[in-house]
């Protein structure tokens, strides 16, 4: 895949992820009451607007604001930029890999933008589960990051199994 095509795929996915994520966060902020639980689909889906100052599942929430700034904004920004450059210039990427990496970069960038705009906090509002078995509260960016990781994992497993089948034939 050439540089122009890779760049277009990456930019398109980044634009879509950031647009959809920030639209849903805008809706959550404006239509959900802070920390008030709204239950749908027989309790499987909960919508509850909250601010997360930590990372995934509020990890690091209790760190000082300065440490959170350096870890969750500066370091994350550097890592995302590095991933972006890598995605553009690594020539062996196929569509599945580039899409997965773009979803991860898009989700991470959207949460980073959210932190910058919300004094270090990310808007979270989704929770799924049955009864007391529930996920933590998350957002669309988190879904995109997990989907990107899943795409890359599936591609790598499939690629490795293809290599093993070829090696078995020899």
Question: For 14-64, how does the pLDDT look when each residue is reduced to its tens digit (9 = 90+)?
Answer: 999 999 999 999 999 999 999 899 999 999 999 999 999 998 878 888 999
Number of domains within the chain:
1
Pair 30, 104: CB distance under 8 Å: no
Could you read off the pLDDT of 75-111 as tens digits, one per residue?
999 999 999 999 998 877 788 999 999 999 999 999 9
Per the structure, the complete domain to which residue 146 belongs is given by 3-169
CA dihedral of residues 15, 142, 144, 34 (deg, nearest 10): -60
Q: Which helix (H) or strand (E) holds 152?
A: helix 140-169
- pTM over 0.85? The answer is yes
Angle (CA) 103 106 108, round 5°: 105
Strand, coil or helix: what is 2? Answer: coil
């Amino acid at each position: 895949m050439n540089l122009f095509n890779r760049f277009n795929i990456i930019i398109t996915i980044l634009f879509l992820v950031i647009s959809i994520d920030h639209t849903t966060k805008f809706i959550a902020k404006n239509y959900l009451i802070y920390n008030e639980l709204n239950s749908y689909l027989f309790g499987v889906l909960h919508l509850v607007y909250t601010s997360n100052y930590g990372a995934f599942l509020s990890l690091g929430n209790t760190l000082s604001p300065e440490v959170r700034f350096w870890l969750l904004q500066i370091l994350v920004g550097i890592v995302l930029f590095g991933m972006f450059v890598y995605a553009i210039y690594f020539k062996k990427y196929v569509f599945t890999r580039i899409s997965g990496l773009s979803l991860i970069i898009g989700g991470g960038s959207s949460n980073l933008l959210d932190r910058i705009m919300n004094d270090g906090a990310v808007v979270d509002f989704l929770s799924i589960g049955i009864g007391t078995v529930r996920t933590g509260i998350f957002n669309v960016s988190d879904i995109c990051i997990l989907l990107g990781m899943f795409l890359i994992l599936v591609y790598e497993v499939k690629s490795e199994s293809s290599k093993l089948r070829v090696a078995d034939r020899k």
